[in-house]
């Protein structure tokens, strides 16, 4: 299999194909910071590949899931036990969703946030070179979770190391901690998440250890998607009742001269103009 720098890498191939074969068949890939991130932000890709003979979804979870809250059934588990439980939950989702492969790199969050620690970037580069996904789902750069933003930046660095023609042709920055409803409407990329609501519910519900503490992520993700679809266009009849918003990050990945900070703040500037323009139009 791949030579990765992480010593804690866990690889799971639901259909028991050879690992290298399983990764090479990738068409859609999500790189998320934590266990459950890819189900929340890349359901669009998971659903596109589900049951297909030609399309394969690959999941990459970067961190080890340590330090998460432990209550109820999990109150007396050690940090090490909890990491195992979370790893297992991610693999359960991979099985339910018929993913092509699930890779869990197992890096401590601290290592991901340290821009000087290049092991994470090296491993992501190796994975991207080998898998060459057509469509890639990553955290969006305006997310409010530090580790999410750090994972996005490590992905961008890794992608820019490989030849442009081997980079994904479509890259979505997806919403989790902070929705993307604030993007101006013509810059919202709408990812239809309405296919197979039973599958979406099953995938989100698998992460019991995170939900048990009272945080109903499963319902919240479902509710956000419904709200996105309902509040999108005030006059149109909804074509789907479930949408995830994404930021188009393809230009950033294709053009090394674009600065991620300037690129991201451009969206905020255009929101500012949108709000100001509407107020001014009506006498504000």
Of residues 37 and 125, the one with the C-beta less far from Zn ion: 37
Nearest-approach distance from CB 62 to Zn ion, in angstroms: 10
Beta strands in the chain (DSSP E): 10-12, 28-32, 57-63, 101-107, 135-139, 170-174, 189-192, 243-248
Of residues 13 and 136, the one with the C-beta less far from Zn ion: 136
Helices (H) and strands (E) in the chain, counts: 12, 8
Could you tell me if 142 and 178 are in contact, meaning their C-beta atoms sit under 8 angstroms apart?
A: yes
Of residues 34 and 92, the one with the C-beta less far from Zn ion: 34
Of residues 33 and 127, the one with the C-beta less far from Zn ion: 33
Could you tell me if 145 and 100 are in contact, meaning their C-beta atoms sit under 8 angstroms apart?
A: no
Q: Which pairs from 203-206 meet CB under 8 Å and 24+ separation? A: 203/39, 203/43, 203/46, 203/93, 203/96, 203/97, 204/36, 204/39, 204/40, 206/39, 206/89, 206/92, 206/93, 206/96
Of residues 33 and 221, the one with the C-beta less far from Zn ion: 33
Q: What angle do CA 76, 61, 101 make, to 5 degrees?
A: 115
Of residues 215 and 272, the one with the C-beta less far from Zn ion: 215
3-state secondary structure of 146: helix
Nearest-approach distance from CB 279 to Zn ion, in angstroms: 35
Q: Residue 29: CB partners within 8 Å, gap ≥ 6?
A: 45, 57, 58, 59, 60, 131, 133, 135, 136, 137, 168
Nearest-approach distance from CB 144 to Zn ion, in angstroms: 11
Q: Which residue has the tokens 């859609």?
A: 28
Nearest-approach distance from CB 88 to Zn ion, in angstroms: 17
Nearest-approach distance from CB 241 to Zn ion, in angstroms: 25
Of residues 139 and 225, the one with the C-beta less far from Zn ion: 139
Nearest-approach distance from CB 244 to Zn ion, in angstroms: 15
Nearest-approach distance from CB 176 to Zn ion, in angstroms: 6
Nearest-approach distance from CB 109 to Zn ion, in angstroms: 10
Give me the sheet containing 10-12, strands edge to edge. Answer: 10-12, 101-107, 57-63, 28-32, 135-139, 170-174, 243-248, 189-192
| Number of Cβ atoms within 10 Å of the Cβ of 208 | 14
User: Which residue is closest to Zn ion by CB?
Assistant: 34
Of residues 184 and 219, the one with the C-beta less far from Zn ion: 219
Contact positions vs Zn ion (CB under 5 A)? 33-34, 37
């Amino acid at each position: 299999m791949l030579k990765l720098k992480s010593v804690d890498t866990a690889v799971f191939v639901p259909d028991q194909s050879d690992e290298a074969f399983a990764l090479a068949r990738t068409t859609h890939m999500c790189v998320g910071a934590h266990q459950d991130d890819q189900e929340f932000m890349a359901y669009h890709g998971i659903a596109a590949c589900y049951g297909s003979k030609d399309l394969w979804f690959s999941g990459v979870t970067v961190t080890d899931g340590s330090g998460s809250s432990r209550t109820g059934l999990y109150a007396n588990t050690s940090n090490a036990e909890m990491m195992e439980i979370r790893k297992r939950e991610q693999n359960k989702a991979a099985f339910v969703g018929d993913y092509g492969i699930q890779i869990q790199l197992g890096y401590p969050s601290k290592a991901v946030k340290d821009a000087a620690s290049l092991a994470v970037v090296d491993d992501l580069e190796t994975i991207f070179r080998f898998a060459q996904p057509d469509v890639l789902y990553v955290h969006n750069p305006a997310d409010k979770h530090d580790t999410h933003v750090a994972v996005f930046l490590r992905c961008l660095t890794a992608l820019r190391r490989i030849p442009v023609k081997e980079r994904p042709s479509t890259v979505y920055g997806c919403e989790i901690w902070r929705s993307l409803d604030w993007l101006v409407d013509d810059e919202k990329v709408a990812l239809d998440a309405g296919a197979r609501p039973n599958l979406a519910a099953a995938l989100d519900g698998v992460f019991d250890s995170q939900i048990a503490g009272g945080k109903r992520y499963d319902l919240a993700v479902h509710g956000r998607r419904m709200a996105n679809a309902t509040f999108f266009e005030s006059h149109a009849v909804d074509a789907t009742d479930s949408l995830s918003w994404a930021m188009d990050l393809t230009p950033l990945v294709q053009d090394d001269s674009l600065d991620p900070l300037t690129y991201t703040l451009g969206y905020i500037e255009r929101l500012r103009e949108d709000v100001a323009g509407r107020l001014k139009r009506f006498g504000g």
